[in-house]
Amino acid sequence: MICKQCGKEFTPGHGNQKYCSVECRSKSKNLLDHQYYNTKKHEKTLEIIECEYCHKKFTKNHGNQKYCSIDCQYNAELEKNADYRMKSYHKNKKRGGDKFWGVGSGGLGPHRHNDPDLELLKIRNELKRLNLVK
């Protein structure tokens, strides 16, 4: 039988042996791997898309990338969360009116402040916010 790598004639040790030695088999495998990874199938395609936040053009680094930078991703998340909070506010306001978003949504908090003057100021601000004091 003739070796597929070097072309030398050899006697196979088993029925489907294609190479005369381990070295020829390794060289052939390396050559096949090199040819496989140089095909267009495995070339990295550079895709230019528009950032979903700032609308600048940029080259994608991976398949799921939507934003050109971490800053744009962070700002987009902030806007998304703010939109969600506003939708939730209006949805709950329709359900319960001021019962849900009125009392208790101010800056008082569940615990008293250590400074009595600051606590009094917070209470007065909350009373003004609820239109209970002018």
**pLDDT by residue (tens digit) across 40-65?**
555 566 789 999 999 999 998 888 89
Please say whether the beta carbons of 107 and 126 come within 8 A.
Answer: yes
- Rg over alpha carbons for the chain, rounded to the nearest Å, is 35
Percent helix / strand / coil, the chain, rounded to 5: 50, 5, 45
Which positions of the chain have pLDDT values less than 50? Answer: 98-104
Q: Is the pTM of this model over 0.75?
A: no
* Per-domain residue ranges of the chain: 1-42, 44-101, 104-134
Quick count: other Cβ atoms within 10 Å of Cβ 19? Answer: 20
pLDDT, position 39: 67
B/e letters for 53-62, b = 16+ CB within 10 Å, e = fewer, are beeeebeeee
Please say whether the beta carbons of 62 and 68 come within 8 A.
Answer: no
Measured distance CA(102)–CA(111) in Å, rounded: 18
pLDDT, position 85: 78
pLDDT, position 51: 93
pLDDT, position 110: 65
pLDDT, position 52: 92
Which residues, listed in sequence order, are joined to residue 58 by a DSSP beta bridge?
Answer: 49
